[in-house]
Each structure stands twice: as C-alpha cells, then as structure tokens.
C-alpha cells in the first residue's frame, strides 16, 4: 500500500527521538546524583572537572573515534568497490572481444 512506504522512516525517526530523550533523561539524573568533581590525570597535566562533564567528554571522544574508524572503513570499501568495477569492465570487454573472434576449424 502506498501509505506504508514512508512509515518505516517515520518509525525510525520516532525511535531515534525516543532514544535521544531517554539518553537526555539518564544524563540529567546522572548529573543530579553526581555533583562532585573528579581529577583527570593526563600525560601532560591534571584537569579538574565535574563528573558528568568528564563522562560526557569521554563519550564524545569515543563517538568521534568511532566515526573516524567508520570513515576509514567506508573509504576502503569505496576504493575496493571502484577497483572491482574496473576489473569487471576489463573482464567484460575481454569476453566481448573474445566472442567476436572468428571461429577457426580444427581440421
């Protein structure tokens, strides 16, 4: 039915919105329950921040690292796909030229 074509997209949007709201509520509760400070020891110095901010920054850095890894993987797949398409074109042109060769008798 035509009305069902976009319903999958709508459900996906609603699910993403609900997931975002759940994460937001969990973050707010976590922030309310953990108002203290934490000291983060980096290799070049020490930084003091709130616990929720430290967790948020860790989450964001992990998310960015995941995006970087996904981008590298996608670039490799695109490159491999391009090479395979080129090899396929060469094979198809070779097969086409072999089909057009005149047949010779083995007599």
What integer pLDDT is reported at residue 70 of this predicted model? 97
Query: Would you place residue 3 in the very low, low, confident or very high pLDDT band (cuts 50, 70, 90)?
Result: low
The share of the chain scoring above pLDDT 90, in percent, equals 50
| 46-80 pLDDT per residue, tens | 999 988 888 888 889 999 999 999 999 999 999 99
User: Residue with structure tokens 């976590």?
Assistant: 30
| 83-106 pLDDT per residue, tens | 999 999 999 999 998 888 887 765
Spell out the residues 6+ positions from residue 31 whose beta carbon is closer than 8 angstroms to its own: 50, 52
What integer pLDDT is reported at residue 41 of this predicted model? 87
What integer pLDDT is reported at residue 105 of this predicted model? 66
């Amino acid at each position: 039915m035509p009305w069902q074509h976009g319903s999958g997209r709508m459900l996906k949007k609603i699910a993403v919105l609900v997931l975002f709201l759940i994460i937001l509520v969990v973050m707010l509760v976590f922030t309310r329950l953990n108002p203290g400070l934490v000291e983060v020891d980096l290799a070049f110095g020490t930084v003091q921040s709130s616990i929720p901010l430290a967790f948020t920054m860790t989450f964001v850095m992990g998310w960015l690292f995941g995006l970087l890894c996904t981008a590298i993987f996608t670039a490799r797949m695109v490159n491999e796909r391009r090479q395979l398409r080129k090899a396929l074109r060469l094979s198809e042109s070779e097969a086409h030229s072999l089909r057009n060769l005149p047949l010779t008798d083995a007599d």
